[in-house]
Structure 1
Amino acid sequence: MTKTDVAEPGEALEPLSKNRDFTLLWLGAGVSVLGSRVSSTAFPLLILWQGGSIASAGLVAFAAQLPNLVVQLPAGALVDRWDRRRVMLACDLGAGLAMAGVVAALLLGHLWIPLLMLAAFVEGSAMIFYRLAERAAVRNVVRPEHLSTALSRNEARGQASGLLGSPLGSGLFTLLPWLPFLVSLAGRALACFSLLAIRTEFQQARKPTGERNLRAEIGAGMVWLWNQRFLRAAISLVAGSNLVFQATNLAVVLIIKQNDGSPMELGVVSVVGGLGGVLGAMSGGWWLARLPASRIVLGAVVVWTALVPMILLSPNPVVLGALSAGIAAVGATTNLAAGVYLTKVCPDEMQGRAISVASLLSSGTNSLGAVAAGFALAHAGLTTTIGVATGFMALLALIAAVSPAVRSGREPLK
């Protein structure tokens, strides 16, 4: 059973809130993403507050982001082949086992950086498969009239998970260093029950095919996205921006620590920043209906250029949080614009591949940015690192302003 049929003229269209299966999918994925945010927040705290170095924190962040480079593309093709519900269940189980390993090691009194890197890599890989399967499943669980609203709620859910996950991870870490990872494990278990309760199929019926060629399938996804002129340009700009944000994220942690701050103060930054992301996602539909996509993308990089250097102004958690809120709000609207556009124009059988290619191009730089930021902050210092990051973001804004491909996205996204 799917819900992709368009409502007949005169037929009453139930509100999205009455869609039981979407609600279960939304809640279950939310719990799973929340678990991931809790553990990802705890990883750098565990290293820095248990005797590790900022360089070690960068290595673990590198391992967490590495799947964006090496797993993303094959994951998209495999999600298009396999049953999406089973993929999501397997991801929750795999990530849960990784968290169980971290809990066991910490209870035994060991802080092994290689183990933390492995756990971060497994969890990052699982979340890639999970995110691709869920994104592709949404259009089969809701009616076309509700697609934009459903994706907007998913974006708001992701931002809210960051809002709750970061302070929750920091607070749990303050109580017991292994507690955030145990809570992350519990969240994955709850998500599995939610998935099992959904009745709707997560994909349309597939036509029988002969021998499958993974490389050719990945190539088809690349070709499709390459032919989308505006998406190609927008994703490239977001990729460069994400490289900068890896430096700012680690810089905020370092600023708090150098000023004798605590994990809870870092949680305040995350809460205020997360509120900005939620508000950006909730208001995204309003902006998308009134502004062409080209202005949304150009406005995003211009605003980011102005906000990045301001993190050096004050170590106050509220000030840092307000800056994070501005960055996150703009990012949420930009993500929503790209997500709605891609989901509407891409065929169902290619959703996984198209999203995976877009994700690789937009966030694949995160892994390199994380390790580069860690070593830059350790050896070049905070001010120099942020100065270089600001200059790079300004260059992206200039490119966006003169790019014909960016200007081609003139139509409002409704």
Structure 2
Amino acid sequence: MIQPLVVKGMQVFILIWLGQIASLTGSGLTNFALGVWVYQHTGSVTQFALISLFATIPRVIISPLAGALVDRWQRRWVMIIADSGAGISTLLLFLLLGTNNLEIWHIYLITIASASFSAFQWPAYNAAIALIVPKAQLIRVNGMMELGEALSHLISPVLAGVLLAKIQLQGIILIDFISFIFSLFILISIQFPNNKNNRTKKIAKSSLFKEIFYGFQYIFQRKGLLGLLIFSAITDLGLGVVQVLITPLVLSFASPTALGSIMSIGGVGMLMGSLVITLYKREQSAINNVFMFQFLGGLSILFAGLRTSVKLSALAAFLFFFGWPIINSSTRLIFQKKVAPDVQGRVFAFIGGVTGISFPLAYLVAGPLADEVFEPLMSVNGLLAGSIGQIIGVGTGRGIALIFVLTGVMTIVITIVGYHYPPLRRVEQELPDVIVT
């Protein structure tokens, strides 16, 4: 039997982080390749989009239960079980494909299963951070987490495109499975600090039903954290709309090659933003970071819709994704500092459930709004052709462009409103830090 290594603080985190980067990259390879496979075999955008929907819904539904259990159980073992379940799902996908029995509905079910395990893994990983690393290192650690996400987003699509031609879908899925094994081996080989204390022992004796709603109660009793959660959920809705519509917007005036270049530039921006927050050592206001870069993101979305310009779209993508890891890491840092470590599983699960609703909602409404409402309004003879059309243009794609402009304006307005809400603006001063070392 493998005996866990005795390592502390940043050493523990770095080992876990390396395993998670491998797992994220492997999953990114599979997700990209599966999307290509589904679209090539069905020719249906709807069936392609359903993969994204099924990947997000379980997190919303399961998160409350997952959070309660994460705080009852050892977080290391929750991550081990979650990674094992996701690995088994990937292995099943590999076997179905290898025996020529893979069907579209298999992919949907396996996506749901994998996402369900992820609903446990995500709050366990986030809640473990406050137990593992010193308070002074939290901002750097959160930057490193965003850096891992950025690397996987940047590497996976490019690498998957190359590997699809070389080893096809089955080979990519095998690589994904190996990445899960690597991550699992690291988790088994090291030991986490124990999150069990007197408060946690009381939790174990209380009603699981009550504990499922504890994250909700904890946030709602603290106006600053509630404001931050609502702010994040609304701005995530805008991000979801952008994610869904960026491809048809760019393809309405540029080539697929230009689209790929714009997405790559956005990935570079995300990578650079992650590096900045990881390497920046000076003490800074996390909530001010959120406001400043969310405002910049709103401006970027707005300007991306104003003109049919590849250069403008590339600049907007770079600035938007440069700020995104800084926003995410700063938001996570505030919750880590202000939420007691022994209840962070439930709180982070509740946060993930609320913000997670934004993305499937955006996936469901963005397409119909574009096709049935905004594109007709901005057609050559549309109702808005003589007014807004004189500013942003008319014809194919300009209805989507108008959605971008409105989403950018909404993001800017929400940021200004959030800044003028005192409990949110002063959340770092008014709520005491629960991590003192």
C-alpha spacing 1:272/1:181, structure 2 compared with 1 (3 Å): farther
Contact 1:241 1:393 (8 Å CA) reproduced: no
For 2:176, give the aligned amino acid: S
Q: Secondary structure at the match of 2:201?
A: coil
Residue in 1 that maps onto 2:413: 398
1:169 is aligned, of 136, 160, 164, to 160
Residue in 1 that maps onto 2:127: 136
Distance 1:303 1:388 in 2: 17
Query: 2:218 matched to 1:227?
Result: no
C-alpha spacing 1:191/1:166, structure 2 compared with 1 (3 Å): same
C-alpha spacing 1:159/1:110, structure 2 compared with 1 (3 Å): same
Counting matched residue pairs gives 399
Report how far residue 360 of structure 1 moved: 2.0
Residue in 2 that maps onto 1:124: 115
Query: 2:24 matched to 1:33?
Result: yes
Residue in 2 that maps onto 1:236: 230
For 1:56, give the aligned amino acid: Q
Deviation per CA, 1:333-372: give whole Å up to 9, x if none.
1111111111122112101111112222223211221233
Which residues of 2 match residues 10-409 of structure 1 at below 5 A?
19-109=10-100, 112-175=103-166, 176-201=168-193, 203-205=195-197, 207-209=200-202, 211-254=205-248, 261=256, 268-284=261-277, 292-311=285-304, 313=307, 316=310, 320=313, 322-376=315-369, 379=372, 381=375, 382-402=397-417, 403-404=420-421, 405-409=423-427
Report how far residue 44 of structure 1 moved: 2.9
Q: Secondary structure at the match of 2:15?
A: helix
Q: Secondary structure at the match of 1:233?
A: helix
Deviation per CA, 1:349-396: give whole Å up to 9, x if none.
101111112222223211221233344456555432442343144234
Distance 1:323 1:375 in 2: 25
Structure number with larger C-alpha Rg: 2
C-alpha spacing 1:364/1:107, structure 2 compared with 1 (3 Å): same
Distance 2:339 2:13 in 1: 20
Report how far residue 322 of structure 1 moved: 4.4
Contact 2:59 2:118 (8 Å CA) reproduced: no
Contact 2:303 2:405 (8 Å CA) reproduced: no
Deviation per CA, 1:155-181: give whole Å up to 9, x if none.
222222222223223333344234433
C-alpha spacing 1:286/1:185, structure 2 compared with 1 (3 Å): closer
C-alpha spacing 1:251/1:61, structure 2 compared with 1 (3 Å): same
Distance 1:179 1:372 in 2: 35
C-alpha spacing 1:174/1:234, structure 2 compared with 1 (3 Å): farther
What is the root-mean-square deviation of aligned Cα atoms in Å?
3.4
Distance 1:171 1:48 in 2: 18
Which deviates more, 345-354 or 98-107? Answer: 98-107
C-alpha spacing 1:276/1:64, structure 2 compared with 1 (3 Å): same
Which deviates more, 42-51 or 346-355? Answer: 42-51
Name structure 1 gaps, 5 residues minimum.
Answer: 5-13
Report how far residue 283 of structure 1 moved: 2.0
TM-score by length of 2: 0.79
For 2:192, give the aligned amino acid: T
Report how far residue 82 of structure 1 moved: 1.3
Distance 1:346 1:389 in 2: 35
Runs of 4+ in 1 over 6 A off after TM superposition: 1-4, 285-288
Contact 2:54 2:111 (8 Å CA) reproduced: yes
For 1:370, give the aligned amino acid: Y
Distance 2:233 2:225 in 1: 12
Report how far residue 226 of structure 1 moved: 1.9
Name structure 2 gaps, 5 residues minimum.
Answer: 376-396
C-alpha spacing 1:323/1:171, structure 2 compared with 1 (3 Å): farther
**Identity, % of aligned pairs?**
19
Which deviates more, 69-78 or 103-112? Answer: 103-112
Contact 1:132 1:356 (8 Å CA) reproduced: yes
